[in-house]
Structure 1
Amino acid sequence: MNKKRSLIFSIVRGAMAIGIALLVAAILIFISSKGDSFGARLLATLSSLKSMLIQPVFRANGTFSVKGFTDVLASMIPIIFTGLATCVMFSANQFNLGSEGGILLGAFVTSLVAVYVPLPGALLPIVAILAGAVVTGLMMLIPAVLKAKLNVSEMVNSLMLNYVIMYVIKFMMNAFIADKTKGTVQTSNFQANAALPQLIDNGSKLSIGFVIAIVMTIIIALFMYRTRWGYAIRMIGINQKFSMYSGMNVVMIIILSQVIGGLLAGMGGGIEMLGRNQYFDWLAQPGYGWTGITVAILAGNNPAFVPLAAFFMAYLEKGCTLMSTYAAVPAQLIDIIQAIIFLFFAADQFLSKYRQKLVVKSAEEELREKQVGATVEGSVK
């Protein structure tokens, strides 16, 4: 199947998965809505869907809301990073689920540097974010080495590692780091020069981290599709045994893909912390890693499409929050939508007949082109 038809198939499959997810969401809203009649429930459902699909960036009077739009852009930042991390790891057929713990660890390490390490000017946030990224990348060596050397499931290891990270951070916060003068478990405030510059001063907390996220998207896309290392990662993901027989260092590539994923997740955590917070108080998994998996699936593991998928998920998340506020529908509806999208993408047989038709059609066209070429060549002779 040629690239054009492969892209069409991916778009159709994604659109159908999203459409089915939204249809299921509408049915659940209808069931849970209040009303004595079918018409009343239908109106309540339509009102809820309006809150979810329109109000994130439009006011009640229909005018465009710059604040709402920048809120969505700000919410995209961490899930762009976890989406990129997941893209790299999944492209190598490494189902590492450690982005959730990775973004938490990156945020924690960045916060420690931002609180306790005295550095001048812009050097502080740079060093803090890099420290979070490096520590998280090193943490990813655990599931990576176990997979590469002992063939231990990276999925199980990384999933368990998420909880180890969370509980170690909880212990350290409660026992050593938390500011006892505060009413909640949190660090002391970051140093003043640790905060990332804001792109727009309207309360949305859209920081320069958004620009960094887009730049990293371009870098990772070029790395994956314009370098031999990226080619090796994708080839191992397609056929690991063939890659090994062709001379690729499979062990090194498996480790490299997961370490890069850790670096990206940790960087995302640090940028999110310094861009939108004044202290660290994450005592539970923030959820960005799981959303990043959905983003990577929607993007087809192609880093270039991650920002678009991240915008969609951030938009829906804000819409569900507004819907829970104004229409009394639980905000957890976004989790149901994510789960349904993941389910349809994970099902290999979803639209398999349509894919088979595209493959056959491409093969027939290629055969006809060869026959025409052979006929023309024969007539010339």
Structure 2
Amino acid sequence: MTDYRALFDLPADTAYFNAAQVGPLPIRAAEAGQTAFRDKLRPWRHSTNALFFDRPESVRGEAARLFNASADDIALVPAASYGLATAARNLDLQSGDEIVILDGQFPSNVYTWRALAQQTGAVIKTAKRTETGTWTQALLATITPRTRLVACGALHWIDGGRIDLAVVSQAAKAQGAALVLDLTQSLGVMAFDVKAVDPDFAVAAAYKWMLSPYATGYLYVAPRHQGGVPLEQNWINRSDARDFSRLTDYRDTYDAGARRFDMGERANHQLLPAALESLRLINGLGVSEIARQCAATSASIKAEVAPLELHADIPEQAPHYLSLSLPAHAPADIAFQLREKGVHASQRGPRLRISAHIYNTDNDVDRLIGALKDILR
């Protein structure tokens, strides 16, 4: 493993394995955010274009690289739920149409479709994985000629089981179904290519694996949907909004591409500077290097925990995720006990979820294994 810890403000006695819940800001991102808050004391020091337009476009361009998309295809959104709601508003479902989701899918990617089903008369169908099967197999078995929408991610947020999105996309398209993706648990740490997958919409909240502030996120909108209806009618996503002297020359036309779907106050003067630094770090290192680092950490942990009766037995588990089955004698509050020993992970049902990122080191792995031995002895 390469040591990237100096890029973060993580104490030596803290082993943080919970990026799937919240990713820490890199030091440079935090400094950029602090500077942005100080700049708010004297807002006249920055030009209107720099504050409202130039920085959002820089963020849009960096985010687009993670999708392998054009900046014109990316909208700036505050949450995954915002992007999913945008997708729901622009999909045409009829009574009896089927919406396919995963069993135990993250709530934001369920409630949106329940509401759409109630509005349209569509039916929710849940893909359930068998004990030895993959989530890809579960989706393929659930898609039928009546399926008109498949909503999922690149992996299951609880157990980390991967989904072959190219295969699922092909199956959905064969039935004339749309594909909407929540990539919050994968974008920035797993390679993704909109050209290979061709989703209709794909959104990712950035505060986890993209190491960014809360309330930042990115929505990919396929060109075929870029003439759609945004959730908000705000001033900044209209054409020629840069000309502040003509804002009351009200326009019915929008800015280019997916920008019409941008959230209100997209410029986010205090948050975007930090998000931009985090995106630059991720793109500078490259997703392949980040994935390699995470896979190395996970492999090291997986080998060490097997004698403790913790097993990574989920088929096709993503390299940055470890969902470990707990032995029967494990305490119900194992995550709390780990925290007391300076180790941070999540418990999801009968499993311990360990999600490493580039800042984790061999010392972190040793601390985790030592803590688990103490707790499970």
Shorter-chain TM-score: what band? under 0.3
Name the one with the larger helix percent: 1
Structure whose alpha-carbon radius of gyration is higher = 1
Greater relative contact order structure (CA < 8 Å, 6+ sep): 1
Name the one with the larger strand percent: 2
Q: TM-score, normalising length from structure 1?
A: 0.25
